[in-house]
Amino acid sequence: MNTGMLWFDNDPKTALDQKVAEAADYFRKKYGQTPDLCLVHPSMLAEETQRQAGKITVRPWRTVTPGHLWIGVDEKLPLGAD
pLDDT (tens, 9 = 90+) of the chain, 82 residues, equals 777 999 999 999 999 999 999 999 999 999 999 999 999 999 999 777 888 888 999 999 999 999 999 999 998 755 555 5
Counted domains in the chain: 1
Give CA 44 to chain center in angstroms: 11
Is residue 21 assigned to a domain?
no
pTM summary value:
0.86
Strands 51-53 and 37-40: unpaired
Is residue 42 assigned to a domain?
yes
Domain span including residue 57: 1-6+37-75
Is residue 56 assigned to a domain?
yes
What distance in Å separates the CA atoms of residue 56 and residue 11, rounded to the nearest whole number?
Answer: 20
| DSSP reduced 3-state for 41 | coil
